[in-house]
Structure 1
Amino acid sequence: MAIKIIVSGLLVFMVYNLCRAMMIMLKNDPNVPMSKFIGRRVLVSVIIVALLLLALATGVITPNPRPY
């Protein structure tokens, strides 16, 4: 259950950074780099994938069974 909460929190943080980057892009403000928020979003997605792979490897979460 804790893995689901952590992953959903990270997903919300990723969407937040995406929205912040969009607002900077729409304002066209040269003082604040948009790449900072895009980079955070990429870092969070890497953390999510690594966390899911680690949870699968340790058996904390189990994948769905095959349909056949």
Structure 2
Amino acid sequence: MTPPLGDIAHLGHVQLLTSDPDASVASCTDCLGPTVGGQEGDTVHLRAYEHHGLVLTARDRPGRAAG
């Protein structure tokens, strides 16, 4: 069965807020395959095809960034 929106080829840009940045980075790199492209303060930029398609930022409460 095909997903309703079709297959996802890659993410354009996503920023997620995480209360456990180390575990989130490990989970993303182990399961999804991107590598750490850089880090600025409490933000880690993960890259696959683009410079930083997935951004993880440490916060008290997890969620997605506005925007």
TM-score by length of 2: 0.27
Q: Which has the higher contact order (CA 8 A, sep 6+)?
A: 2
TM-score by length of 1: 0.27
Q: Larger % of helix: which?
A: 1
